[in-house]
Amino acid sequence: MKIAIVAGEVSGDILGARLIDSLKLYYPDARFEGIGGIEMKSQGLETLFEMERLSVMGFSEVLGRFRELWGIRKSLLDRWLEAPPDLFVGIDAPDFNIWLEKRLHANSIPAVHYVSPSIWAWRQSRVKKFVGNLDLMLALFPFEVAFYREHKVPAEFVGHPLADEVPLESDSVSARKQLSLPADPFILGVLPGSRLGEIQRIGPDFLKALVTLHENHPDWVFVTPLATEKVAERFKALHEEHAPEVTIQYIDGQSREVMAASNQILMASGTAVLEGMLVGRPMVAAYRVAALTGWLIQRLGMIKSAYYTLPNNLANENLVPELIQQELTAGAVIDAVEKQFGESEAKKSHRLQRFKNIHQTLRQNASVKAADAIQKLLANRA
């Protein structure tokens, strides 16, 4: 059996690796090929293109790489039409994978999409691209299934792999020991993102805010995990430019451990905010896309959900302060962090309990459940 699989970024690479591992239980002799990162390669994926070539976000960013992305996608399609796989799995990266899924499905190759794009939140018209073009949507969140079934797209809720991995109680003491961080002081985890573009657009405001937060709380310790050497170089250069008087303890990777070690987190919005919720720490989330991308989103009225971050959407409640686009300023960061720091114990307890309830709902042994759904799909087709 040959299984084609494409992931476009680090979070998808992690999901893909766990899915491959679970699929091997059903198909021990399966061969996997496509696009993935270090994690998927470690599970035996034959990588046809480097995953980093797909890791772009936003309209304007994609436009600048359109020709390259189109060439990669066309090459994959030609390869798989000539030598058809028994299954194609697109992991996230919807603007890249939906195109492939539609064409492979039309040629009788079962097509599965793992991780629903946030069409329930924005650009809802995208759901039409799945109708009649997909064999199965593997949804990480329960409310997504009703949305897809309403639009006649087969869907199964499988839970979120992160909810399976992260313990219901994260131990800050052991996390600090593991990272060689001091046991007693208040730690603010600062996570400015994992992409160079995020660092550039978010980093300066974060760092300017740290100057004032340090003045207000000189006993606080700031800790920042950085995903790659390039990201580290860029953020450290911004640190020297905007907040040279502020000490930041840098950690290579290990963002989850940094979250667990923290009393509070300031972070870029994205999958990391969900992880912070699972770890159970109060957070302030911020995000800014390129100006053209942000203008198009606002101009076209693409945002349909009440909130930007997953914890808030899952809870239908403002548990995580959100600073998006023009709302993101150093002053706004300072105000949000200070306000959250000074919350009542009752409010802190309420947030933590809501986080735990969502964590338990998402804890479904997702990778195994996803592999099981795929096995049933293939068995029914056979």
Same domain, 118 and 31: yes
Query: From residue 236, how far is each of 180, 188, 220, 257, 330 by CA, in Å?
Result: 20, 17, 19, 21, 18
- Is the same domain home to 257 and 358? yes
C-alpha–C-alpha distance, residues 169 and 31, integer Å: 37
Same domain, 340 and 206: yes
Q: CA-to-CA distance for 95 and 77, rounded, in angstroms? A: 15
Q: What integer pLDDT is reported at residue 321 of this predicted model?
A: 95
Q: Check whether residue 342 and residue 302 sit in a common domain.
A: yes
Query: 3-class SS at 156?
Result: strand
Q: What is the CATH number of the domain that holds 373?
A: 3.40.50.2000
Residues 109 and 174 in one domain: no
Provide the pLDDT for residue 67: 81
27 and 135 fall within a common domain: yes
The pLDDT score that the predictor gives to residue 157 is 96
For the beta sheet containing 31-35, the strands, ordered from the edge strand earlier in sequence to the opposite edge, are 46-47, 31-35, 2-7, 87-91, 111-114, 136-139, 155-157
User: Does 155 share its domain with 169?
Assistant: no
Beta bridge partners of 268: 286
300 and 172 in a common domain:
yes
- What domain range is 40 assigned to? 2-159+364-381
In the chain, how many domains are there?
2
Same domain assignment for residues 177 and 311: yes
Verify that 9 and 149 share a domain, yes or no: yes
Q: Tell me if 292 sits within 8 A of 220, measured CB to CB.
A: no
Tell whether 353 and 374 lie within a shared domain: no
Q: What is the dihedral of CA 213, 263, 161, 95, to 10 degrees?
A: -10
103 phi/psi in degrees, rounded to 5: -75, -35
Rg of the chain over Cα atoms, rounded to whole angstroms, equals 21
What integer pLDDT is reported at residue 282 of this predicted model?
Answer: 97
The whole-number mean pLDDT for each consecutive block of 10 residues of the chain, a chain of 382 residues, reads 93 92 96 96 95 61 68 96 97 90 96 85 69 93 89 94 92 96 96 89 96 98 93 95 97 95 94 93 87 50 65 92 91 97 96 96 96 96 84
> Do residues 103 and 6 both lie within one domain?
yes
**40 closest CA partner among 68, 64, 70, 10:** 10
